[in-house]
Amino acid sequence: MRVLVVEDDPVLLDGLKVGLGLAGATCDVVSTCGDAEAALATGDFDAVVLDRMLPDGSGLDVLKRVRASGNRTPILLLTALDETSDRIAGLDAGADDYIGKPFDLEELAARIRAIARRGQGRAAGALEWRDLTLDPATMSAARGGEALALSRREFAVLAALIERRGAIASRAEIEDRLYGWQEEIESNAVEVHVHHLRAKLGRDAIETVRGLGYRMGGPR
């Protein structure tokens, strides 16, 4: 899950990046309205955490402009203003959820997973494929009721492919899920993770579509 975090306080920004990373998300972080809009215009995110008061303007204005441009990325507003009228204004401006500072990191992660899930058109928390179940909240996988050991990156690749429901995910798109901007991408990382996943799930679990990318195998 790739999340854009827009927050100007350096400590909180760092906390969100590390904390949401621990919860299985890959975070890109920016500190200003301008950077946030630029990131949203070019990147593909599963969810956005948007601070309401930013040094160069209001997060609410960013929200309105982003929604006006037709962007439907789920957005969670983060704010120190927690009066009801502020919450209503935020939700009516196009926010999917709203959380006041200070918040609980786990609750924030759960809310992000919830809005991301709804953004993908799913209601259930778990991802399912054949007899495999992935739980993004605990980053655990089970096959036929038995726990399956997956690394954080393997889990992310598998989740990205299952979310697509048979559509092809390009290597670049999977890399986007795995790495934030600031991270160095290892050149053959995706191939390595797919290789490991095939070893654990069987050769037909992930199909390679030559020149385009990968997709999950059809139902058996």
Select 35 or 175, whichever has its Cβ closest to another protein.
35
Give the contacts of 40 (CB within 8 A, at least 6 positions apart): 4, 48, 66, 71, 73
CB of 99 to another protein, least distance (A): 10
Interface characters, 69-108, with another protein (x: CB under 8 A): ---------xxxx------------------xxxxxxx--
Closest distance to another protein from the beta carbon of 86 (Å): 9
Other CB atoms within 10 A of residue 190 CB = 24
Return the range that interacts with another protein (CB under 8 A); candidates 10-18, 111-119, 188-196, 204-212.
10-18
- Name residues contacting another protein, limited to 178-217 (CB under 8 A): none
56 counts as binding another protein under rule CB under 8 A: yes
- Our finding on whether 22 is near another protein (CB under 8 A) is yes
With contacts defined by CB under 8 A, name the span among 6-14, 60-68, 120-128, 210-218 that binds another protein.
6-14
Which residues of this chain interact with another protein, rule CB under 8 A?
8-16, 18-19, 22, 31-32, 51, 53, 55-56, 78-81, 100-106
